[in-house]
């Protein structure tokens, strides 16, 4: 299933994309797509519905983040060997963890706004993992049973804030609008193996990133095993799992960063597409 949330910011409704690509309203069946409604039992109930019996949504409404009331927004850094190489970083021994502030989360096609003083805002297409069942001390063998589904995340990053403003990466990762998420939450049964997904990102129509989740250093299952040994993962938590090569900071001979008016377009196989225009905070 492809589940999503549509409508004005803060007033999104739950929806489903049917086999023909039509957006269907789920409001009569769930209040929202959140950690409270993405457990296996609820997903099975929604899967049993005849999508053609659901009201079709007219027009082209705004698409919101595919999960509402996200709990923890967890991010894994330097998780692709070829991306680590382009940044000159060593291959990590364990998953590198940082957090994005939840106030960074926006819809997949909402504008990305560079904060005041930004000169090094960068792009990162990433596979997002949405937890559907509580996970504590979970083995890699069982980890994917705790996943509700997957989505696209753009881990937008202000590199100067990230590396030069003394402190943790969170400073450059958590600016408002720096976490476009969606368009859909694609349930794990439809995705299958999360380590075989092609992914790409274009800026102004030029391909910048091309990759496949098969080149992750730590797989989705290994990440869940590692994190769940440190703290409990709850339904509605989102883990974004790292980016392939082609980010702006890695371009030679000179890095390239985003500017006002640029357009980013992101795709991951089976998970849809994002499109954001870059603006500038006043």
Instruction: Convert the chain into a string of H (helix), E (strand) and C (coil).
Output: CEEEEECCCCCCEEEEECCCCCEEECCCCCCCCECCCCCHHHHHHHHCCCHHHCCECCCCCCECCCCECCCCEEEEECCEHHHHHHHCCCCCCCCEEEECCHHHEECCCCCEEECCCCCCEECCEEEEEEECCCECCCCHHHHHHHEEEEEEEECCEEHHHHHHCCCCCHHHHCCCCCEEECCCEEEHHHHCCHHHCEEEEEECCEEEEEEEHHHECCCHHHHHHHHHCCCCECCCCEEECCCCCCCHHHCCCCCCCCCCCCEEEEEECCCEEEEEEEEECC
pLDDT at residue 144 in the model? 98
Instruction: Look at domain 73-280 and name its CATH class.
Output: alpha beta
pLDDT at residue 282 in the model? 81
Locate 96 and state its tokens: 């590198």
Is residue 185 within 8 A of residue 66, CB to CB? The reply is yes
User: pLDDT tens per residue, the chain (282 residues)?
Assistant: 999 999 999 999 999 999 999 999 999 999 999 999 999 999 999 999 999 999 999 999 999 999 999 999 999 999 998 877 777 778 899 999 999 999 999 999 999 999 998 999 999 999 999 999 999 999 999 999 999 999 999 999 999 888 888 878 889 899 999 999 999 999 999 999 999 999 999 999 999 999 999 999 999 999 999 999 999 999 999 999 999 999 999 998 999 999 999 999 999 999 999 999 999 998
pLDDT at residue 231 in the model? 98
pLDDT at residue 88 in the model? 77
CB atoms within 10 A of CB 276: 24
pLDDT at residue 160 in the model? 87
Give the whole-angstrom CA distance, residue 64 versus residue 6: 5
Locate 235 and state its tokens: 């339904």
Terminal CA-CA length for the chain: 40
pLDDT at residue 142 in the model? 98
Q: Which residues belong to CATH 3.90.850.10 in the chain?
A: 73-280
Phi, psi dihedrals of residue 250, rounded to the nearest 5°: -95, 0
pLDDT at residue 87 in the model? 74
pLDDT at residue 167 in the model? 76
Closest residue by Cα to residue 247 from 78, 86, 85 = 86
Question: What is this structure's pTM?
Answer: 0.96
């Amino acid at each position: 299933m492809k589940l999503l949330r549509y409508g004005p910011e803060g007033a999104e409704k739950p929806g489903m994309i049917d086999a023909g690509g039509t957006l269907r309203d789920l409001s009569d069946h769930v209040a929202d797509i959140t950690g409270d409604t993405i457990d296996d039992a609820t997903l099975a109930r929604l899967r049993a519905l005849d999508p053609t019996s659901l009201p079709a949504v007219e027009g082209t409404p705004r698409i919101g983040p595919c999960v509402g009331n996200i709990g923890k927004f967890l991010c894994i850094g330097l998780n692709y060997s070829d991306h680590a190489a382009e940044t000159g970083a060593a291959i990590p021994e364990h998953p590198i963890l940082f957090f994005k502030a939840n106030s960074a989360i926006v819809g997949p096609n909402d504008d990305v706004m560079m904060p005041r003083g930004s000169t090094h805002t960068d792009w990162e297409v990433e596979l997002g993992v949405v937890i559907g069942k509580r996970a504590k001390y979970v083995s890699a063998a069982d980890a994917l049973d705790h996943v509700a589904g997957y989505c696209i995340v753009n881990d937008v990053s202000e590199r100067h804030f990230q590396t030069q403003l003394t402190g943790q990466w969170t400073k450059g990762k958590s600016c408002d609008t720096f976490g476009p998420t969606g368009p859909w939450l694609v349930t794990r049964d439809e995705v299958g193996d999360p380590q075989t997904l092609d992914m790409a990102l274009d800026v102004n129509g030029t391909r910048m990133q091309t990759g496949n989740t098969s080149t992750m250093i730590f797989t989705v299952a290994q990440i869940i095993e590692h994190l769940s040994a440190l703290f409990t993962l709850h339904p509605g938590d989102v883990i974004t799992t790292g980016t392939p090569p082609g980010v702006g900071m890695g371009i030679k001979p000179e890095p390239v960063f985003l500017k006002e008016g640029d357009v980013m377009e992101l795709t991951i196989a089976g998970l849809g597409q994002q499109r954001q225009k870059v603006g500038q905070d006043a």
